[in-house]
Chain A
């Protein structure tokens, strides 16, 4: 069952909050080295699904496998240690820490020095810290930030904060990166920059990317495959073209009446929510 090419596989994942079933029987599979997207109307359960993947929520039912290994029920730090990282929909940087420190926090699971070595300031400790700092700077430049390493992360403009968040996630050396609405609130130029950054992450660093995204231009432009969620369930999956013309999707987004009309063209051209 565990196909080695599948980096992520979920089966019948269910997450309930009291009487509300936020994610219902979500079955999803993803090949390594691809860029996939999950779309869906507000409240469809996309972020809840992400939280279940990254260990912040424990699903009530179903299994989640990452690189062939069961990860459902693992605490978030263990999931991160297994090389899966994420960003948040509403940017959650450590605003009172500098940009470099934020990124170095992301490297926590990759730093090996013990508390005793920390207090004694051993040679190995110093070398590791220096490496972590250099790496943080490198990542900062990689995501397109310059000269802001010592700024407090909270003082950066919005687009900059998004970049720091991605750099912080990259510091944990992920093989799978979950991006929760990474271009929300960006202007078209920034969105374009961000999209090309995601491509580079995949092409240059070989990171598999799973996106939640509302901006249809981004989704249609970058995704190799799209899953659509509505009311906690996956209602469609396929290549961007198929999704754009899928009546179920159009209905979920625009309501029943629109499915008959020119809704498909709207979605494809990016005017949908």
Chain B
């Protein structure tokens, strides 16, 4: 039964993979395996905080724990241990990791939100970043000095300008971001009542651009957004000093140095992002497996039939837009605070496409797939190619020579810097995925229910209705 849920895989490779997976899931193996991997990964990252392979091993160990067959509470315990203890300690040794995980969390929430619209309900949305922008500008405006600069020429705030709100309103604004983005989502979703498919994609693209252009141009007549320069500084919530002291008391020997305030901010934002993502995952999962999720799927499959079965398609489509938007709104607020800066640059069409890529690459409609997709794309963007570039740069400076062909590394052209080819590599990966695994890294599967009348089970009540034969043959 378990094997079936992984979707229909026919190639020998995936069959081997599956039997390999089954071997991993026997008896105590998963517990031992995940423990060993986790310890090894943690130790590696701990001692070589700058090593990318070590970090990737750690990340894989952490995500493998999710996919192995273990008791639910063991998984939960592991997740909490990793999220609250291990990652902050490792992150304090190399803040860059926290940044990576923070970005993965942000994009995971965005991808999950878009997945509700595109994956669950089948409505293409090319303007998804607009909702993220709404959240970001919401806190960007109220959490900065901007409300006092409405009649100023765009530029930096004159010295001595007060902040409009106390910094700790930030926490409330996460919820406000949810609500405001949901409302904007409803408005932007109105076209779905009239158009579908390609037309909807174009309209959402247009709406997304409108929001970005508004951000770009609303510096006059009233200076609401500070135009292309963006708003800065934006406040962060006040640093919980007792918590910082507590963290230092507990973990200083492990971290190796005292964690400073700005480092602790990174830990804090990382934790808030993780909490938001967890809430988003729970909400998404519960919606998917409910009458609402079933109705979304029905609309995606056949809207007319869904309506004839009693599903108010318009209401549910708008609902999908609103829910999807709300996730992005919350993350937007968080983003604005963590960067202390928002500008229209962050919300381009390309960004919207990037999130869509995460959804499609990970597995459209699949919750775990979409999260993995967000992680893969973010890591690809941030780390792998850049570190490869760095490595090549080092080679270039060295005297190393490739033997047989007698190639001096220092002759390597700067044009061949891999980080310049990020988009190219990315495109190739996408093309290969679409050819060989079109349903994504982890394809979506319908939930299998524990039904009483299982195919293997004895049919004691076979006599109650008379015609099973015709049904079986069809």
Contact = CB atoms under 8 A, between A and B. Distances in A.
B467 A197 contact: yes
Interface stretch (A13-21, A65-73, A110-118): A110-118
A152 B121 CA distance: 18
A97 interface: yes
Interface residues of A, number: 65
B449 A146 contact: no
A184 interface: no
A98 B298 contact: no
B283 interface: yes
Interface in A172-212: 172, 189-190, 193-194, 196-197
B448 interface: yes
B453 interface: yes
Interface in A117-141: 118-119, 121, 125, 129, 132-133, 137, 140-141
Contacts of A133: 449
B299 to A, nearest CB: 9
B395 interface: no
B474 A77 contact: no
B337 to A, nearest CB: 25
Contacts of A140: 453
Nearest to B290: A118
Nearest to B455: A147
Interface stretch (A86-94, A217-225, A262-270): A86-94
B57 interface: no
A85 B438 CA distance: 36
Nearest to A86: B308
B311 A77 contact: yes
A148 B455 CA distance: 7
B307 interface: yes
A4 interface: no
B286 interface: yes
A159 B471 contact: yes
A108 interface: yes
Contacts of A40: none
B294 interface: yes
B159 interface: no
Contacts of B312: 75, 77
Contact of A172 (B301, B309, B446): B309
A129 B290 contact: yes
Nearest to A76: B307
Contacts of B305: 88, 92-94
B455 A193 contact: no
Interface string B319-339: 100000000000000000000
A56 B308 contact: yes
B330 to A, nearest CB: 15
Given A92-B304, A119-B283, A159-B471, A108 B310 contact: yes
A150 B451 contact: yes
A160 interface: yes
B291 A113 contact: yes
A101 B446 contact: yes
Given A86-B308, A97-B446, A137 B452 contact: yes
A159 B469 CA distance: 11
B311 A149 contact: no
A168 B283 contact: no
B182 to A, nearest CB: 12
Given A105-B295, A141-B465, 15 more contacts: A94-B297, A96-B301, A97-B294, A101-B446, A105-B298, A106-B309, A108-B294, A108-B310, A108-B311, A144-B471, A156-B474, A157-B474, A160-B471, A168-B309, A197-B467
22 contacts: A77-B307, A77-B311, A94-B306, A97-B298, A97-B301, A100-B449, A105-B311, A108-B311, A113-B290, A118-B290, A119-B286, A121-B286, A140-B453, A141-B461, A144-B468, A150-B448, A150-B449, A159-B473, A172-B310, A193-B467, A193-B470, A196-B467
Interface of A: 54-56, 75-77, 80-81, 85-86, 88, 92-98, 100-101, 104-109, 111, 113, 115, 118-119, 121, 125, 129, 132-133, 137, 140-150, 152, 156-161, 163, 168-169, 172, 189-190, 193-194, 196-197
